[in-house]
Structure 1
Amino acid sequence: MPAEPRLRDGARLALTTLTVAPVRAGRIDRVTAGTAMALAPVVGALLGVPLAGVLLTLGAVTAPLVAAAVTVAVGALLTRGLHLDGLADTVDALGSYRRGPAALEIMKKPDVGPFGVVALVLVLLVQAAALAELAGRSWPATLAAVVTAVAAGRLGVTLACRRGVPAARPEGLGALVAGTVGPVALATGTIAVALLAVAAVPERPWQGPVAVLGALAVAAGLLRHVVRRLGGITGDVLGATVELVTTLVYLGLTLSG
């Protein structure tokens, strides 16, 4: 496929997969999927801009924690809550101590178990608390921090779809995107997000990149565990990776030096 149509179709697939943007899907195959997953951090950066706008606007007229809670809610709305759902399903499956098909069957169930509930509460609390702290910084630093965290979360998807990581099922989103991202695309995305993170903590320019790389390292460890337990990745695992990396980057950006 020529580069331009592939990039266009990949961008459409990335937007429809990662946001509620009403974009008509183009060609969908593994080549397009690889482009889409490589572009995931770009979609995250674009998503982070309005979220930062919500945080900054509300932070000027109401309590920081209220502004932060609304920002988290808007983020869930703009992604249809799919990443949070994926987090709950993945944690329930891992918490069951079952393996392979038995664990995957738990992930298919529509209800949320106790492990998933705890994971959701903790992630939402940490994100809201971190955003409340970020709301008190200068607007350029707040903008950079939110965009960095949201972009890094989607970079976690790029990491999860790298070559060598299998799909847990022969069908579904995981089967479409697993192993489609090459090392150059992953390295490029990582460098871009790490550079973006420099502006998130201007008084300590190293802190942002370290937060991003540290979160990705944790995500890589989780992915290895998931592959051992489930046999590979699924769409739910991708959602869990988004929320894990986003939360860890928010936390890393708020730590005091």
Structure 2
Amino acid sequence: MSLRDGWRLAMGTLTRVPVRPPGVIDRRTAATAMLSAPLTAVPAAAGVALLVWLGQEKALAPLVAGLLGVALLAWVSRMLHLDGLSDTVDGLTASTDRERSLAVMRSGTAGPAGVVALVVVIGLQSVGLAALVGQEHGPWLAAAVVIASRAALPLACTRGVPAARPEGLGATVAGSVPRVPAVVVWLLAAGLVWAAALLPGFDLGGLLAPVLAALALASCLAVAVRRLGGVTGDVLGACVEVSLTVLLLAVSSVGLV
């Protein structure tokens, strides 16, 4: 039952695909949901790959393909990750006091810092996808990094990473994933990126992409634990967006580095 309930929790939380609610939501269900996160991104990854391919076929301008790709990801995820990024940045910049920062994040309104973060991240992701239009294996790279970016979730929910507050999505999934499965999922996701980037030939950007994304994720988690006391649902969304941005910036340099 935990597998089915975990898959339903993952799809119902991370996508707009309509699914029946899980029968039981416990630590095992939460762990299964987070470990399943990369698989939930497969349909969106296919859509982004199609847009990059359309750019290669001159049916779309590269930047249009990139912007539409980011819009598709936002739509499929119900803006969940972007909203988390905005709220997290607003909370961290609003105050050095933990409770005040969490209160700002809970409010759900976008402040100046959150808006700037969204503009920068959406811009970087769009440009990164646009750059893949010029790469022979661009569609495969685009699909790989979208799927791999969701591997940030099991790592961020690994046992030992606390929840910032006792309620909310973060409290449900924080610390629920055993370390070994989390690392295995990350390695599989990294392998997908390496396959798409390196099989045509060695490239430093493709080789470093998952490593740089993991370092960026570790930095995000360190800041969240130090400033907020742990992760929240917003922090998890921010981790996904930061990971995707770093992956795109790295792989878009394939053939250039």
Q: TM-score under structure 1 normalisation?
A: 0.92
Residue of structure 1 equivalent to 2:220: 222
Q: 2:109 aligns with which of 84, 97, 111?
A: 111
Matched residue type, 1:243 = E
Residue of structure 2 equivalent to 1:165: 161
Residues 198, 205 of structure 1: 8 Å contact kept: no
| Equivalent residues, number | 251
The alignment yields a C-alpha RMSD, in angstroms, of 1.5
Q: Output the CA distance in 1 between the equivalents of 2:50 and 2:25.
A: 33
Q: 1:47 aligns with which of 40, 44, 47?
A: 44
Instruction: Please state if 1:19 is matched with 2:18.
Output: no
Matched residue type, 2:21 = A
Cα deviation for residue 198 of structure 1 reads: 1.9
Of 202-211 and 151-160, more deviation after overlay is shown by 202-211
Secondary structure of residue in 1 paired with 2:151: helix
Q: Output the CA distance in 2 between the equivalents of 1:195 and 1:90.
A: 29
Q: What pairs with 1:60-209 in structure 2 (closer than 5 Å)?
A: 60=57, 61-138=59-136, 141-201=137-197, 202-204=200-202, 207-209=205-207
Q: Do the aligned partners of residues 80 and 165 (structure 1) sit closer, same or farther apart at CA in structure 2, a change above 3 Å counting?
A: same
Secondary structure of residue in 2 paired with 1:217: helix
Of 78-87 and 6-15, more deviation after overlay is shown by 6-15
Q: Do the aligned partners of residues 209 and 191 (structure 1) sit closer, same or farther apart at CA in structure 2, a change above 3 Å counting?
A: farther
Matched residue type, 1:240 = A
Matched residue type, 1:174 = G
Residues 10, 32 of structure 1: 8 Å contact kept: yes
Residues 52, 139 of structure 2: 8 Å contact kept: no
Structure 2 residues not aligned, in runs of 5+? none
Residues 156, 241 of structure 1: 8 Å contact kept: yes
Cα deviation for residue 158 of structure 1 reads: 1.1
Secondary structure of residue in 2 paired with 1:20: coil
Q: Output the CA distance in 2 between the equivalents of 1:176 and 1:97.
A: 25
Cα deviation for residue 144 of structure 1 reads: 2.4
Residues 207, 252 of structure 1: 8 Å contact kept: yes
Structure 1 residues not aligned, in runs of 5+? none
Q: Output the CA distance in 2 between the equivalents of 1:212 and 1:245.
A: 9
Q: Output the CA distance in 2 between the equivalents of 1:250 and 1:168.
A: 29
Residues 144, 196 of structure 1: 8 Å contact kept: no
Q: Output the CA distance in 2 between the equivalents of 1:245 and 1:92.
A: 19
Residues 45, 148 of structure 1: 8 Å contact kept: no
C-alpha deviations, 1:32-58, integer Å up to 9, x for none? 001111111222344311221233235
Instruction: Please state if 1:28 is matched with 2:25.
Output: yes
Matched residue type, 2:155 = L
Of 170-179 and 6-15, more deviation after overlay is shown by 6-15
Residues 44, 153 of structure 1: 8 Å contact kept: no
Cα deviation for residue 233 of structure 1 reads: 0.6
Q: Output the CA distance in 2 between the equivalents of 1:221 and 1:132.
A: 27
Matched residue type, 1:189 = V
Return structure 1 stretches of 4+ with deviation > 3 angstroms. Answer: none
Q: Output the CA distance in 1 between the equivalents of 2:66 and 2:211.
A: 24
C-alpha deviations, 1:40-89, integer Å up to 9, x for none? 12223443112212332355212111111111111111111111010000
Of 75-84 and 213-222, more deviation after overlay is shown by 213-222
Matched residue type, 1:223 = L
